[in-house]
Structure 1
């Protein structure tokens, strides 16, 4: 339903790999905007002739890409590596035709903070921007307009539509005068008919309330999501995105945790120093969120939970098989000795893309690797999950059920670069026989 409504590609996970000569745009739902010149403090684009916007004070979330053996911070070598990486990315992003394979290789090692580097790169890796830079302005404009029309169609209450209003409010649910001549018996607010526009509107009230509750709990430790000045705007935009997603995907609707998956995307796009991009962060975040979710939406669909080929149980089986191929001793210990079922810990790892297991800055670094992996997000996600198990092998082998479950539900701090290197070296599962979870 979601792919049909937005004309998404049938195989979103191939969006990063099968692209030679492909514009990278998605038929029926495209976005883009033209890059300008390099700025001394970052990469961005703006309209010609405009003065450079004054950057508002923002909360910095710095990603530490290296941790020394003694636990100290990055050294001079690391800073030089970061500077070289920044230069490589900036050079790639000003090419008339972006080399996506090269962009993947650079991004997989971590995207430097600051400027528009991460926002622009994520949009390219998710297929939201096409490789051809001269199409960016057209693609972005079309998709931002399309998002605005979708909001008008699905998020405005019938009374606001009849009165001609175009701006939805976070707290209003259909108040406002209705002209009687415009209201049929079928479309009266008290109508119980299943085809009534009001019935369809009110059936999402409970979902909207759940979204609001979840947004209140989204990264309360970060000012971006919790400060009084930014909080209302952030929650309203994220609420619009999640509610619109739920209405466009009636099989899944909204499932608790989707807010956590949206948060990194919305943060990265909202903190883009280019004013025009930050102002359109809601529309851009929706487009990228849809693309990301189209590769994992089956994990949120309860009807597919017990499906042998799709759904979360199938993915958990893949993780077990991957662990067995890479470390059979650890697999045996978890599977038969302590009987720590992956549903107890990896369900959350996989459905929320590890957003609950690490600090926010580390999440951004991990997602650089997720989005840039040639085989897609889900493949790299399973590799990282498997690496997380192998990385804690010594503690898991000496632990019982309770100790191991606690460890995996409260994953310890790690050198993230080392963990990602382990993940890249993981051998993918090769057997077609799935390990039973029963």
Structure 2
């Protein structure tokens, strides 16, 4: 792959794209990603994500066999649980669909359609088509099979907003790499699994019914706000917001898909995926950064309207908030990780 952009050339040299063999230097990869990926290049982004989330190893020659293995496993799961339909209505293998499966299909369908509609213009641009129905169905299929293969997690609202960037980036890259649709879906499902499990987000998802534990996780956001803005912290205490979970839970679950524009979401994820097990800690600091950034529109809002005000935050500027979050993360790293 050729390009005049030296940053793009640098990346392809880094991953041994020409020879497709050899050991990719992990440290060099992370240093490259810390300087931001070339803007708008979803193929490089795809390579970066599958490396960072260990979907593929740093041994370049193993990539093809690993991805083929993911495809084979996905096909096996698909054939076991759903009839494959090119036009794509979900058809469970059993003639009589049980109530649990029916509920899952309906819930995934409703959530995915709503999410696609929210990001319609961005998806049309990234997927290079205005016909999003088939892509919606494919993302639904990934979520259904993920829920079936991860019974301890099940399907939870929020996964729909995680699969959207993953599938969009994977589809674009897959078309460039001549992957078939099943391979794209298989890699997307593995990326979703790794994002949740390897980077610790599953701790939040799996603790949804343990209110006390969740409150403890989120309390570090209060600490960050209190350390950096006594006035705002006092105001939250005064109006009765004693735990950030009340206003930012969905921000964490969706990795900020609800408060950033689509392009900024995937740029943020470029950074988050290299944090490994510290990803969720950094997300807490992103939450504190958003609240600190929006202080002027928060102070003075009545108690009965404050949650709605925070939930309505959309299309935040990405760079200044990331700077604040990085500063908070650096100063609070010990509190976050001990």
* TM-score, scaled relative to structure 1: 0.65
Task: Give the equivalent residue in structure 2 for 1:64.
Answer: none
Task: Give the equivalent residue in structure 1 for 2:140.
Answer: 239
Give the 3 Å change call, closer, same or farther, for CA 430–329 of structure 1 in structure 2: farther
Q: For residues 137 and 13 of structure 2, what CA distance do their matches in structure 1 show?
A: 36
Per the alignment, in what secondary structure is the counterpart of residue 110 of structure 1?
Answer: coil
- Contact persistence 1:123–1:129 (CA under 8 A): yes
Give the 3 Å change call, closer, same or farther, for CA 84–399 of structure 1 in structure 2: farther
Q: For residues 51 and 66 of structure 2, what CA distance do their matches in structure 1 show?
A: 12
1:173 Cα deviation from its structure 2 partner: 3.5
1:209 Cα deviation from its structure 2 partner: 1.1
Give the 3 Å change call, closer, same or farther, for CA 174–401 of structure 1 in structure 2: closer
Which protein has the larger Cα radius of gyration, Structure 1 or Structure 2?
1
| Residue 297 of structure 1 pairs with residue 202 of structure 2 | yes
- Contact persistence 1:318–1:429 (CA under 8 A): no
Match of 2:26 among 100, 109, 119: 100
Task: Give the equivalent residue in structure 1 for 2:211.
Answer: 306
| Residue 268 of structure 1 pairs with residue 173 of structure 2 | no
1:392 Cα deviation from its structure 2 partner: 2.2
1:349-388 equivalence runs, <5 A: 349-373=251-275, 375-388=277-290
Task: Give the equivalent residue in structure 2 for 1:222.
Answer: 120
Q: For residues 88 and 262 of structure 1, what CA distance do their matches in structure 2 show?
A: 29
Q: For residues 395 and 174 of structure 1, what CA distance do their matches in structure 2 show?
A: 48
Q: For residues 91 and 81 of structure 2, what CA distance do their matches in structure 1 show?
A: 13
Q: For residues 202 and 268 of structure 2, what CA distance do their matches in structure 1 show?
A: 20
Q: Deviations over 1:151-209 (max 9, x none)?
A: 112334xxxxxxxxx6587425358xxxxxxxxxxx9x5xxxxxxxx67x553111111
Q: For residues 240 and 413 of structure 1, what CA distance do their matches in structure 2 show?
A: 28
Q: For residues 306 and 34 of structure 2, what CA distance do their matches in structure 1 show?
A: 30
Task: Give the equivalent residue in structure 2 for 1:144.
Answer: 71
Task: Give the equivalent residue in structure 2 for 1:13.
Answer: none
Per the alignment, in what secondary structure is the counterpart of residue 376 of structure 1?
Answer: helix
| Residue 111 of structure 1 pairs with residue 37 of structure 2 | yes
Match of 1:91 among 7, 10, 13: 13
| Residue 346 of structure 1 pairs with residue 248 of structure 2 | yes
**Which structure 2 segments of 5+ residues have no match?**
none
1:396 Cα deviation from its structure 2 partner: 3.3
| Residue 40 of structure 1 pairs with residue 3 of structure 2 | yes
Q: For residues 153 and 253 of structure 2, what CA distance do their matches in structure 1 show?
A: 13
Q: For residues 173 and 148 of structure 1, what CA distance do their matches in structure 2 show?
A: 15
**Which structure 1 segments of 5+ residues have no match?**
1-37, 42-82, 157-165, 176-186, 190-197
- Contact persistence 1:269–1:285 (CA under 8 A): yes
Q: For residues 286 and 35 of structure 2, what CA distance do their matches in structure 1 show?
A: 14
Q: For residues 212 and 167 of structure 1, what CA distance do their matches in structure 2 show?
A: 16
* TM-score, scaled relative to structure 2: 0.82
Match of 2:106 among 185, 209, 213: 209
Task: Give the equivalent residue in structure 1 for 2:220.
Answer: 318
Q: Which moved more, 1:341-350 or 1:409-418?
A: 409-418
Per the alignment, in what secondary structure is the counterpart of residue 218 of structure 1?
Answer: helix
Q: Where does structure 1 differ by over 4 angstroms across 4 or more consecutive aligned residues? A: 166-169, 225-229, 429-432
- Kindly indicate which of the two structures has a greater share of residues assigned to helix: 2
Give the 3 Å change call, closer, same or farther, for CA 91–424 of structure 1 in structure 2: farther
1:91 Cα deviation from its structure 2 partner: 3.1
Q: For residues 252 and 381 of structure 1, what CA distance do their matches in structure 2 show?
A: 21
1:32-181 equivalence runs, <5 A: 38-40=1-3, 83=5, 85-94=7-16, 96-112=22-38, 113-114=40-41, 116-156=43-83, 170-171=88-89, 173=91
- Contact persistence 1:269–1:278 (CA under 8 A): no
- Contact persistence 1:97–1:133 (CA under 8 A): yes
Q: For residues 343 and 354 of structure 1, what CA distance do their matches in structure 2 show?
A: 14
Give the 3 Å change call, closer, same or farther, for CA 420–102 of structure 1 in structure 2: farther
Per the alignment, in what secondary structure is the counterpart of residue 98 of structure 1?
Answer: coil
| Residue 392 of structure 1 pairs with residue 297 of structure 2 | no
Q: For residues 284 and 179 of structure 2, what CA distance do their matches in structure 1 show?
A: 32
1:117 Cα deviation from its structure 2 partner: 0.5
